[in-house]
């Protein structure tokens, strides 16, 4: 298929990883050096994702550095000869000192800070949005008609919201389920990259608060289940 600008229309299948042990235990796992595997339920979810993608030719699969995303891809593809690319820009938001803590500790911290505040030895939501924007641009620069991207709920929710055309209502503020595929074309991914880069713009040098939907982003962040 050819778009109006004569560029091939590419497709990206985004999915949240399947359930991990951290999800089941309600703790944070954002550090790639602390690998946490899928649960048995998660492995079943990944197999279910594979069944949904069984008849779709996939040229490239992309995961974050977190083990649960790579395991989801490996199980879903079930031995298909698809190259797998690790994209650090799609990692979960870096929780720093809160990594390994109960998810409630994460929510408590977020309730007292803005989207531009960095977690102790971690990053801010705005930092993460800029990372996601860069990762999407790198994926767009690669070749291949169909790319499977397995990432995290926070990333997927913000990508989906930013990908929506301006004449359509915002993406519903509900949690994205584990291992459910969502189809985006390249135009939607370009919109997402541009939108996330704008949302993650740093505050002005005069120190005034950055007003780019911080309250909405904060509420969104508080719904994450990593």
Distance CA 203, CA 187 (A): 28
The closest alpha carbon to 104, from 47, 178, 28, 161, belongs to 28
Per the domain annotation, does 1 fall within a domain?
Answer: no
3-state secondary structure 95-145: CHHHCCCEHHHHHHHHCCCCCCCCCCCCCCHHHHHHHHHHHHHHHHCCCCC
pLDDT at residue number 185: 97
| Helical spans, DSSP H, in the chain | 21-25, 40-53, 67-77, 103-110, 125-140, 153-163, 186-199, 214-222
Q: How many CB atoms lie within 10 A of CB 175?
A: 13
Q: If DSSP codes are grouped into helix, strand and coil, which group holds residue 188? A: helix
CA 179-181-185 angle, to 5 degrees, is 150
pLDDT of 172-222, one tens digit each?
556 799 999 999 999 999 999 999 999 866 544 333 333 223 333 433 444
Q: 50, 69 in Cβ contact below 8 A?
A: no
Per the domain annotation, does 3 fall within a domain?
Answer: no
Per the domain annotation, does 58 fall within a domain?
Answer: yes
* Residues pairing with 147 in the sheet: 12, 60
The token pair at 106 is 């994460």
Residues in the chain predicted with pLDDT less than 50, given as ranges, are: 1-4, 203-225
> Which CATH number do you get for residue 41?
3.40.50.1240
pLDDT at residue number 71: 98
Q: If DSSP codes are grouped into helix, strand and coil, which group holds residue 66? A: coil
pLDDT at residue number 6: 54
pLDDT at residue number 110: 86
pLDDT at residue number 218: 39
Per the domain annotation, does 6 fall within a domain?
Answer: no
Per the domain annotation, does 212 fall within a domain?
Answer: yes
pLDDT at residue number 168: 73
pLDDT at residue number 9: 81
Distance CA 43, CA 64 (A): 17
pLDDT at residue number 206: 39
Q: In which domain, by residue range, is 174 found? A: 11-222
- Rounded to two decimals, the pTM is 0.86
Per the domain annotation, does 57 fall within a domain?
Answer: yes
pLDDT at residue number 167: 78
Helix (H) or strand (E) holding 62: strand 60-63
Per the domain annotation, does 65 fall within a domain?
Answer: yes
Per the domain annotation, does 169 fall within a domain?
Answer: yes
Give the number of domains in the chain.
1
């Amino acid at each position: 298929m050819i778009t109006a600008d004569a560029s091939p229309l590419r497709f990206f299948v985004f999915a949240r990883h399947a359930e991990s042990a951290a999800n089941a235990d309600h703790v944070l796992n954002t550090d790639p050096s602390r690998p946490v595997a899928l649960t048995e339920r998660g492995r079943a979810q990944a197999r279910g994702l594979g069944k949904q993608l069984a008849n779709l030719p996939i040229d490239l699969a992309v995961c974050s550095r977190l083990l649960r995303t790579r395991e989801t891809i490996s199980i879903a593809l079930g031995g298909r000869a698809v190259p797998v690319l690790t994209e650090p820009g799609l990692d979960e938001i870096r929780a720093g000192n809160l990594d390994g803590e109960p998810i409630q500790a994460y929510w408590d911290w977020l309730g007292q800070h803005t989207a531009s505040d960095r977690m102790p030895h971690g990053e801010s939501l705005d930092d993460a949005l800029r990372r996601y924007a860069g990762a999407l641009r790198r994926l767009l620069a690669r070749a291949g008609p169909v790319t499977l991207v397995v990432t995290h709920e926070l990333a997927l929710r913000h990508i989906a919201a930013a990908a929506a055309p301006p004449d359509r209502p915002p993406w519903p503020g509900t949690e994205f389920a584990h291992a459910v595929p969502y189809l985006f074309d390249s135009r939607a991914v370009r919109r997402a990259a541009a939108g996330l880069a704008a949302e993650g713009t740093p505050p002005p040098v005069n120190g005034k608060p950055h007003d780019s939907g911080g309250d909405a982003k904060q509420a969104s962040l508080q719904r994450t289940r990593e």
